[in-house]
Structure 1
Amino acid sequence: MVHLKKLGAFALLLALFITALPARATGPNGDLGLQLYNEKTEKYSDVTVSTVALSIDGKDMNFTGDIPAVVQVIDGYGRTLAPFRAVGEALGATVLWSQENRQAILRKGGTTIVLTLGSATAMVNGVETPLPDGVAASVLSLKGQNNGRTMVPLRFVAEQLGAAVAWVQEDYSAEITSAAAPITQITRVTANYDAQTVLIATDRVPEFKTTDLGGKIVVDILGAELSSGFPGTITVDNELITTVRYAQHDNDLYPEYAKTVRVVLDLREGLTLADNATVVAKEDGILLTTFLTEKDMEELPTPEVPAIDPTKKTIVLDAGHGGSASGAAYEGIKEKDLTLSMTKILEKKLLAMGYNVIMTRSTDVYMDLYARADLANAADADLFVSIHCNASATNRDFQGIFTYYHPSSGRGRRLAETLQPYMAKATGAIDRGVLKDDFVVLRETKMCAVLIETGFMTNHEELMRLSDPIYQEKLMQGVADGLTAYLNNLG
Structure 2
Amino acid sequence: MRMKIMRNLKLKKMSVLMLVVAILGSMMPLTFANKYFESDQVELVDPISGTSGSYYPVNIMFAGEDVITDVPAIVYEKNGSSRTIVPISFITEKLGAQISWKQETQEVTIVSAEKTIVMQIGNANATVNGKQTKLPDGIPPILLQYEGKTKTYVPVNFISSQLGLDVSWIAGTRTVAINRPVQTLTDINLDYMKQFPEIRMKVTGEVVATSFNISGADVGAQDKIIIDLQNTKFDLKDKSLLKDGIGTYRVTDGIFGIDKVEISSQSSNPPTTRVVVYLDQKKGHNIFFDEKTGEMVIQLVNTVNNVSVDKIYSTDTVVIDTSEDPIYNINVVGNQIMVDVINSYMKINAGQMQVVPVDQGKIASLGYSQLDTSKYTDSDFYTSEDKVSRVIIELNEKVTHDDIYVENDGTQILVFVSQNPLNNFDYVKLNNSRSTLDVRLLKAGNYDIAYNKETRVLRVEIPKALSDLSAFEYPVRDQLLEAIEMKVSGDQYQMDITLSPNTTYQQNTVDGKISFAFSNTAIQNSIYKDMLIVLDAGHGGHDSGATGTQAKEKDLALKATLLLENQLKSLGFKVYLTRSTDEYIGLYDRADIANDLNADLFVSIHINATTNSTASGVEVLYASDSMSGGKGLADLIQKQLVSTLGAKNRGIVKRPNLVVIRETKMPSVLCELGFISNPEEQDKMMTTAYLEKAAKAIVEGIKQFIK
TM-score if structure 1 supplies the norm length? 0.47
More strand by share: 2
Greater Rg over alpha carbons, structure: 1
**Structure in which a larger fraction of residues adopt helix:** 1
Q: With structure 2 as the length reference, what TM-score do the two structures score?
A: 0.34
